[in-house]
Structure 1
Amino acid sequence: MRDGAVAVVGGSIAGCAFATAAARAGAGEVVVLERTRGRLADRGVGLCVHDDRAAELRVSGALPEGIAAHRLQRRRWVVRDRDAAGGRVIWEQPFPFHSYHWGLLWRGLREAVPDAVVYRQGETVTGVAEAEAGDGAEVRLAGGAVERYDLVVGADGYRSVVRAAVCPESRPHYAGYVCWRGNLDAARLAQLGGAADPAPDAVTTVCFPGGTCVIYRIPGPDGPRVNWVLYAPPPQDGQLRFDDPTSFPPGGLTPELSAHLRALLEREFPSYWGRALALTDPGDTFVQPIYDLETARTTAGRLLLAGDAASVVRPHNTSGAAKALQDATAFAEGWRRSGSFEELLRGYQGARGPAGRELVALARRLGHAQVERTPVWADMSHGEVAQWWQGQLAGAPGIGGQAMTP
């Protein structure tokens, strides 16, 4: 299939990947509509991509070479122990991932977008709809303008305007717990003494009643950083709104929320890791309720959903970035094979719809076992933890997403 005008709503990771895919596959016109005016590269959260997924995505061209990444090889599960500042290891497993800084990954994807793509910032899309003739779609902008395209891709995240048109019945579901996130300069760990600090290739998962915290290194614009993601029950003081998955962005914590986090670290964490996370600057700390979402379909008419617009997966699965890039890969491959937009959309729905739903289901099992109904970690042997882990996978090969099928 050649030519055609494509609008990509959203210009972050999924949006850049889809814009590149459409342009390289043969679209005649590609326009990215990104609502923010600021630098998306300033977003500093960490993420991981499984080594096998990364290899596939490099071959497809969806993951450009040269983007800074930090190699991870093992994951240590630890519990608080008064005799060990860094905690007692209850299990260790292989962890073949590379970690990324969100902003640096986005920058690499943005720089890979072909020059022919028009990337427009400050463009808020208020609605989309099929064209009356059924041979395209219309995009309504905040300023009142209406633009027509042959295909509109919704890469606009969990609040997707495009999803509201494709699957209006789909709504994010609150999981019942929250996620605290932060990152700090890795050099600051020297303030604590290095005896308890594991090798840089290790992920540490701190386990406590009612939650877990995943800690690992990521590259940063100014050197290595320590990224952490802490899952726990929500504060009971009414500070959080559970109708909004981003209640308190970086730098927005109230004194009460900051005090709640400090108390949690002091009460539940091995002393080393509690003190380490406490080094995080307030401007690099935030909290959000955890949600997930699955859709019955990822296409409708000339509309298509990508990344978090198609499915919101709890972060336990470590698959979000890989899934968005796989969506773009499937889209590009489908474009090259298809003779019409209708054929392209049918193929994409068949390939990516089930994949998104399976990831949501796995992440729900992981959240249930690691936050909602945690075991008595300290009483478990290595073998019991390994068996507990396999129970969460329930036959899945592992976390980090799935291999793409031809």
Structure 2
Amino acid sequence: MRGGTVAVVGGSIAGCALASAAARAGADEVVVLERTHGRLADRGLGLCIHDGRAAELAATGALPAGIAAHRLTRRRWVVRDDTAAGPAGRVFWEQPFPFHSYHWGLLWRGLREATPASVVYRQGAAVTGVAGDGGRAEVRLAQGTAEAFDLVVGADGYRSVVREAVCPESRPAYAGYVCWRGNFDARRLEALGDGGWPTDSVTTVCFSGGSCVIYRIPGPDGPRVNWVLYAMPPQTGRLPFDDPTSFPPGRITEELTAHLGALLDREFPPYWAQVIALTEPADTFVQPIYDLETARTTAGRLLLAGDAATVVRPHNTSGAAKALQDATAFEDAWRRAGTWDELLRAYQAARGAAGREMVALARRLGRGQVEQTPAWAAMNHREAESWWQGQLGGAADIGGQAMTP
């Protein structure tokens, strides 16, 4: 199928990937509508992509070459042990971890720069509603205007306006716990020593009721340390977690800050508590954990991708890979289709069940690593491996599924 006009709502990782896919597949016009005015590249979060998924995505062109990445090979699971271990705690299990880590902003920048020049990228274009019936699609903008397209792609994240039109019954559900996130310049580690921490290793600090993942990522000015700590929030007071939200850097409540400090003092090996404490308040934020699955990813002339289609808890380490896989499936469906209806049916068949399966796996991982944590300190290597396989529930690994050729 050749020709046609496409609007992509949302200009972050999923939006850039879907816009590029549409342009490569032969759309006459592709317009990205990004609501923010600021620099998306300033977002400094860390993320990882499984090496197997990265190879597949590089082969299809969905993951451009040359984007800075840090190689990871193993994951060490650590507990505090005040009697037998040193300040870095006791490693009770080590597993292969075939991933590369990325800086969100650098990954976005690479995808944005790889977007074909024919794509129109409009910032400050906030979409307030969409409609996709009658063989056309329409987007309504905040300034009161409306624009028509042959297809509207929702790549507008977990608060998706497009999803409201495709699946109005689907909303992100709070999982009951939160994560504290942060990152800092890796040169700050020099004050602590390396703590026996190889640069290719991910450390998971385990404690009753939570866990914390710590690893290195590339940064605009050199390597950084990225960490994500999952735990139940403080039970006092009323925090607005029922509606999708987050506490951005510099706006974390005193209650949440104090709770993090107590967790570090009580549960962490001293070295890893000191590592987390190197993070500036301006680089620390709190993200309540949500998940969401949709019964369908298309309706009329509307299509969902990335977090707009499914919100997967971060334990699965699959968010970026899933968005790029959605773009790959979209481009493949376009090239094989003779009509818009054929394209939409093929995309739904390729991505609908895959998204729901990732949500289910991430829920199992959340239960095992936060909600119903085992007696980590009593585990040996064999028991840890068995526990992990139980969480996977038949899945080959975390990081997302291989795409069907």
Give TM-score scaled by structure 2 length: 0.98
Query: How many residues end up aligned between the 2 structures?
Result: 403
Q: How does 1:166-315 map to 2 (within 5 A)?
A: 166-194=166-194, 196-238=195-237, 240-315=239-314
Alignment partner of 1:101 out of 103, 122, 138 = 103
Residue 389 in 1 paired to residue 391 in 2? no
Note if contact 1:72-1:203 (Cα within 8 Å) is conserved in structure 2: yes
Note if contact 1:178-1:288 (Cα within 8 Å) is conserved in structure 2: yes
- CA separation in 1, counterparts of 2:14 and 2:238? 31
| Secondary structure of 1:86 counterpart | coil
- CA separation in 2, counterparts of 1:365 and 1:260? 25
- CA separation in 1, counterparts of 2:196 and 2:136? 56
Q: How does 1:1-400 map to 2 (within 5 A)?
A: 1-82=1-82, 83-131=85-133, 134-194=134-194, 196-238=195-237, 240-400=239-399
- CA separation in 2, counterparts of 1:287 and 1:393? 26
- CA separation in 2, counterparts of 1:47 and 1:246? 20
Note if contact 1:239-1:257 (Cα within 8 Å) is conserved in structure 2: no
Q: CA deviation at 1:171?
A: 1.0
- CA separation in 2, counterparts of 1:220 and 1:363? 27
- CA separation in 2, counterparts of 1:126 and 1:255? 34
* Structure 2: 5+ residue stretches without partners: none
Change (3 A) 1:244 1:187: farther
Deviates more, 1:244-253 or 1:56-65: 244-253
* Structure 1: 5+ residue stretches without partners: none
Note if contact 2:71-2:99 (Cα within 8 Å) is conserved in structure 1: yes
Note if contact 1:155-1:305 (Cα within 8 Å) is conserved in structure 2: yes
| Secondary structure of 1:85 counterpart | coil
| Secondary structure of 1:6 counterpart | strand
Note if contact 1:73-1:201 (Cα within 8 Å) is conserved in structure 2: yes
| Secondary structure of 1:350 counterpart | helix
Summarize deviations over 1:120-148 as a string: whole Å, max 9, x none.
000110000125xx111010000000100
- CA separation in 1, counterparts of 2:26 and 2:47? 31
Summarize deviations over 1:139-192 as a string: whole Å, max 9, x none.
000000010000000000000000000000001111111111000111111111
Q: Cα RMSD (Å) of the superposition?
A: 0.8
Letter of the structure 2 residue corresponding to residue 38 of structure 1 = G
| Secondary structure of 2:274 counterpart | helix
Q: CA deviation at 1:76?
A: 0.2
Note if contact 1:295-1:310 (Cα within 8 Å) is conserved in structure 2: yes
Letter of the structure 1 residue corresponding to residue 117 of structure 2 = D
Note if contact 1:245-1:288 (Cα within 8 Å) is conserved in structure 2: no
Residue 401 in 1 paired to residue 400 in 2? yes
Note if contact 1:246-1:287 (Cα within 8 Å) is conserved in structure 2: no
Q: CA deviation at 1:381?
A: 0.9
Letter of the structure 1 residue corresponding to residue 150 of structure 2 = D
Letter of the structure 2 residue corresponding to residue 90 of structure 1 = F
| Secondary structure of 2:30 counterpart | strand
- CA separation in 1, counterparts of 2:212 and 2:244? 19
Summarize deviations over 1:57-77 as a string: whole Å, max 9, x none.
000000000000000000000
- CA separation in 2, counterparts of 1:237 and 1:114? 51
Q: Percent identity?
A: 77
Q: CA deviation at 1:239?
A: 5.4
Q: CA deviation at 1:254?
A: 2.4
| Secondary structure of 1:331 counterpart | helix
| Secondary structure of 1:198 counterpart | coil
- CA separation in 1, counterparts of 2:333 and 2:132? 21
- CA separation in 1, counterparts of 2:244 and 2:64? 30
Change (3 A) 1:239 1:269: farther
Summarize deviations over 1:273-325 as a string: whole Å, max 9, x none.
00110110001000021000000000000000000000000000000000000
Letter of the structure 2 residue corresponding to residue 398 of structure 1 = D
- CA separation in 1, counterparts of 2:73 and 2:48? 12
| Secondary structure of 1:183 counterpart | strand
Q: CA deviation at 1:259?
A: 1.8
Q: CA deviation at 1:257?
A: 2.0
Summarize deviations over 1:23-62 as a string: whole Å, max 9, x none.
0100000000000000000000000000000000000000
